[in-house]
Amino acid sequence: MTHSNEPRFHVALRQTLTPHDFEAQVPRLVRACREFGVDEVLFFIYDMELDHPATGFWPLETIAAHARQLALAKLELEKVGVRVGINPFTSLGQGDRGRDMHRLFSFQPLVDQYGTPCRAGACPLDESWREYYREATRLWASFHPSRFFIDDDFRWHNHAAATGGGRMTCFCPLHLAEFERRCGRKATREELVADILKPGEPHRARAQWLDMQRDILEGTAALIEGAVHGASPETEVGLMCSPPDIHALEGRDWTRLLRAFAGKGRPLLLRPHFPAYEEGPLRHLPIGLLTTRQTIAQFAPGERITHFVELDNCLPTAFNRSPDYIAFQTMACAALGQGSIHYSLFEFTGNSTLYEDCGEYGRMLRELRPCVDRVLAWTDGPRREAGIGLIDNPGSAYAQRLPPGTGDYWALRVNSHAMANGLQLLGHPVTFESSPVLAPAAEVLRTLDDKRLRELLAANLLLDIAAAEVFVERGLSEFVGLSAIVHPDPTRIAVAAERITEAGHPLDGQYMHVRLFTVPPDRILKPLPGAQALTQHVAPMNVPVGPGTLLFGNRLGGRVAIVNSQANVIDSGVHLCPQRQQ
């Protein structure tokens, strides 16, 4: 797969200019851009509520007045060579957080699967919201921003309602009516939810629902695109986003949605997420970057697309993330050929000392520029990632077979990463691009049909125990070198360690931990003749229990390795050790 961005560091700073004390904030921002080497500012329309009622959506006259202020600020920034775009924080709504749109608007609220309505989340099927948002978008675009980024609340999930709920929307009356219009079936919310979450083989209502939800967002994206380009034809329109595994819950077709935002014939624009928002354990960095890489991999080779990787120091102050942490993230992006970065580094309140308080971020940006440019020069041109391949399934929610008793929509979610962090921490690169070796996650495998599973078996597979079980459950155990996976009585099994038993291995006879605080191995592999055990799980008194790691070559030409551990254990300090590396 090949994607290319600008072959130089492009710093896009997301920054709020609050309506209060506006004139004083502009020169401070201009000075900061000059001193820190900022290429583009993205006006973040975030803290309007410091100056306006907490309604989540603002009156059009308020937006018009602020857009006029921003137009003046844009002129000042352009004088020092800085491009200016815009990122309104709200389209459908980011969560109630004490806001109540009904103080000003009568929009149909987003409603979750349990019937809980949001107070500051609007359903995009509501014509009054569509009229409002079309005009709001036109006003924001009236100062001709370079880029117009819709924030990541343009989604059906995570619209936290003040009273709890809002995780997955929208099941409002307008949605039920639209479902009836499209599918010819009148259903209550409860009936529809029950069908969507029916255990076992998915009910056809689920695919109909997902198709409808996808189409509604694509249609709304086209509405926004038309409004932006009606006011400012030169503006690029794009989207911020959540991780792909979560967007699969709403049936997202990434290319179609981004095309709807971009407009016909224009390149696509996306801000892939690079979690986390706060500085956490360093060992979480590889899996965070993998979310970014998975997002970029959603697009076909050759697609014209600009990625601005999101490095969000949220909420931004020096107490949240250190410059070295952000610099490391930036350099990792550069090594992947991604030099266009969206930074949120400085607080959004308009305080007079916000740039001085976080001056270390400015110094970081200045110092990074030659470093990033030098590495980008090594990534210019076509490139392919290599490593252990991971697979995901953007259509997973269509195919997920739910177990009995599942009542929550989020049970449809899959995790594509499985062993990925453990592998990376051991020093093995992974990729969502094509690879001769795949380490598919069990949750993804469960959403694939038998034909696809057989195709995978002709490749080279690294499976954790959960992934191996999927093949056994589907009657394909002979292809992974197993006659069975036994679930012993958990009160009678106590695996003490894993012992290397491969003849001739320099570490033959050494032990590796398998348990501490995590769940110990609770499955026993029963290998077929021809399968080679490299390690053995042993019980107390060194009694063999069963293979820990198994290699097998199947008659489809595929090679399979099974590691008898759960993915979350493989990512833990219990599993990772020098012996595992070898």
Nearer to another protein, 335 or 524 (CB): 335
Q: How far is the CB of 441 from another protein (least distance, A)?
A: 16
Cα(502)–Cα(372) distance, integer angstroms: 45
In the bound complex, what is the minimum distance in angstroms from residue 475's beta carbon to another protein? 24
Closest contact distance (angstroms) between CB of 282 and another protein is 4
Nearest-approach distance from CB 427 to another protein, in angstroms: 3
Rounded to an integer, what distance in angstroms lies between the CA atom of residue 185 and that of residue 415? Answer: 33
> Which CB atom, from 203 or from 284, has the smaller least distance to another protein?
284
Q: How far is the CB of 480 from another protein (least distance, A)?
A: 13
**Which CB, 282 or 541, lies closer to another protein?**
282
Q: Which is nearer to another protein, 416 or 424 (CB)?
A: 424
Which H or E run includes 463?
Answer: strand 460-464
- Nearest distance in Å: CB 307, another protein: 16
Closest distance of CB 320 from another protein, Å: 16
Nearer to another protein, 98 or 429 (CB): 429
CA torsion angle 69 71 77 79 (round to 10): -120
Nearest to another protein of 388, 414 (CB atom): 388
Q: Considering the complex, what minimum distance in angstroms separates the CB of residue 230 from another protein? A: 41
Q: Is 382 helix (H, G, I), strand (E, B) or coil?
A: coil
- State the DSSP H helix or E strand holding residue 425, giving kind and residue range, or none if neither: helix 420-425
CB 346 within 8 A of CB 384: no
State the Cα angle at 253 between 248 and 155, rounded to 5°.
Answer: 60
Instruction: Indicate the DSSP class of residue 202.
Output: P
Of 192, 167, 152, give the one whose Cα is nearest residue 112: 167
Cα separation values, 216 from 213, 260, 365, 405, 564, Å: 5, 11, 40, 29, 44
Q: Are 143 and 71 in contact (CB under 8 A)?
A: yes
Q: Which is nearer to another protein, 161 or 418 (CB)?
A: 418
Q: 516 or 543, CB closer to another protein?
A: 516
Q: Which is nearer to another protein, 183 or 551 (CB)?
A: 551
Q: Indicate the burial class of 382 (C-beta count within 10 angstroms; 0-12, 13-18, 19 or more).
A: exposed
In angstroms, what is the minimal distance from the CB of 179 to another protein? 45
Q: What is the Cα–Cα distance from 223 to 341, expressed in whole angstroms? A: 27
SS3 category, 559: strand
* Minimum gap (Å) between residue 375 Cβ and another protein: 6
Place of tokens 């970057």: 289
CA dihedral sign, ordered 38, 43, 44, 47: positive
Within 10 angstroms of residue 285's Cβ, the number of other Cβ atoms is: 21
> Of 227 and 376, which CB lies nearer to another protein in the complex structure?
376
How far apart, in whole angstroms, are the C-alpha atoms of residue 213 and residue 247?
11
**In angstroms, what is the minimal distance from the CB of 367 to another protein?**
4
CA atoms of 572 and 558, how far apart (whole Å) = 29
Give yes or no for a contact between 474 and 453, defined as CB atoms under 8 angstroms apart.
yes
| Distance separating alpha carbons of residues 269 and 236, to the nearest angstrom | 7
Q: Count the residues in the chain.
A: 582
Contacting positions for another protein (CB under 8 A): 282-283, 285-286, 289, 323-325, 327-328, 331-332, 335-337, 363-364, 367-368, 370-371, 374-375, 378-379, 381-388, 423-429, 431, 434-437, 460-462, 502, 505, 534, 549, 551, 559, 561, 563, 576, 578, 580-582
Check: CB of residue 311 under 8 Å from CB of residue 322: no
Q: What gap in Å lies between CA 237 and CA 448, rounded to an integer? A: 34
For residue 321 the two structure tokens come to 């993330």
| Minimum distance of another protein from residue 331's CB (angstroms) | 5
Contact residues for 537 (Cβ-Cβ < 8 A; gap 6+): 495, 497, 498, 499, 514, 521, 524, 544, 545, 546, 547, 548, 564
Q: Cβ neighbours of residue 144 under 8 Å, at least 6 residues apart?
A: 74, 231, 232, 234, 235
Q: How far is the CB of 324 from another protein (least distance, A)?
A: 5
The residue among 204 and 384 lying less far from another protein, judged by its C-beta, is 384
Residue 119 or 559: the one with the smaller Cβ distance to another protein is 559
- DSSP strands (E only) in 263-356: 268-271, 305-307, 309-312, 340-344
Between 263 and 286, CB nearer to another protein: 286
CB of 364 to another protein, least distance (A): 6
Residue type, 230: G
User: Counting beta carbons within 10 angstroms of the beta carbon of residue 309, is it exposed (0 to 12), middle (13 to 18) or buried (19 or more)?
Assistant: buried
Q: Which is nearer to another protein, 399 or 438 (CB)?
A: 438
